[in-house]
Amino acid sequence: MDLKIIWFILIAVLYIGFFVLEGFDFGVGILLPFLGKTDGERRVIINAIGPHWDGNEVWLLTAGGATFAAFPNWYATLFSGFYLPFFLLLLALILRGVAFEFRSKDEDPRWRLTWDWSIFVGSLLSALLLGVAFANLVRGVPIDAEMNYVGGFFNLLNPYALLGGVVTTLVFLMYGAIFLSLKTSGEMMYKARATARRLWMPVVILLLIFLVATYLSTDILARLGVDPGVVPVTGLAAVLLAGYFIRRERDGWAFTMLAITIAFALITMFMILYPRVMISSLNPAWSLTIDNASSSPYTLKVMTIIALIFVPVVLIYQGWSYWVFRQRIENKTEKLVY
């Protein structure tokens, strides 16, 4: 297989891994001030994702690095054209990370409340901006014949992209609530489960609307062939099953189904893109593809060898960390200082 195709698939896998693993982190962060009414409850919520949130963000860094090395023209156009949204995303991630580290440095309730709301803001902005960015990728943005983004910031705030941001945020909220029902016990578990149950119907409705909007705003029919519904409809079916399992209090299965929904949504987006990596809304011939945006064959060969060595190590380590911290967290505040 062509190394350019392999690296396109690998970058897709990295972004899918990031959304599947970091999605519930963002959801938990958004839910923090609302489900955590006391300092003890908020520390339970934070400790549920405490061992994982920073490791999950590595998937985004790796995806960005892989894009830079494998498809430098894609990286240059994407990060220059989306500079302001990505800068805001970076600030949101920094605010969120600092808040996790600083909130327990002082016992003053005002200090902790400030950082708790910082976690909320950082998580909300991150989820929203990521949805907007990926929706713009599949819709297309103004790119000229020289591979330069020639639009402005407000070109990115079109109705379809904003809808994508709202959908991503709401899905992550439900995902985070299910994760909390898996990782906590007692009252917090029941509150999280009830939240997931309330969010399920809005998520299904918005996903349906977004699916229809995707068929109207992109060239998905031409990209996916004669049976374009299989991949996205499978993701939709998974979220319907998630609602069934939530009502049956089968939290593990509900979490798995929503993870499948997120993964299939990203797969659909990358299937719409291929063999393009950025779509020009000005002229289809000006779109960036895996051919005109890639590095040299030698660079791709060296990167492939490195990836074959280190990617399995990262996967094994991250899987081991989830296994070690698999226990539920109880509301015993004297033992939960993060």
Task: For residue 278, give both structure tokens.
Answer: 């950025």
Over residues 304-312, the mean pLDDT reads 86
Q: Which amino acid is at 150?
A: V
Name the residue range of residue 57's domain: 3-335
Mean pLDDT is lowest, of 142-146, 159-163, 200-204, 334-338, for 334-338
pLDDT (0 to 100) of residue 220: 81
pLDDT tens, residue by residue, 71-111: 999 999 999 999 999 999 999 999 999 998 898 888 888 99
Spatial CA neighbour of 264 closest among 233, 220, 218: 233
* CATH number for the domain harbouring residue 149: 1.20.1630.10
pLDDT at 236 over 90: no
Q: Can you tell me which residue has the tokens 């494998």?
A: 70
User: Residue 320: is it exposed, middle or buried by C-beta count within 10 angstroms (0-12/13-18/19+)?
Assistant: exposed
For the chain, the domain total comes to 1
pLDDT at 330 over 90: no
The residues, ordered by sequence, that sit 6+ positions from 304 with a Cβ below 8 Å of its Cβ are: 3, 6, 7
pLDDT-derived band at 331 (thresholds 50, 70, 90) equals: low
CA gap 40, 62 in Å, rounded: 34
Q: Let me know: does 244 contact 258? Beta carbons within 8 Å.
A: no
pLDDT (0 to 100) of residue 332: 61
pLDDT at 46 over 80: yes
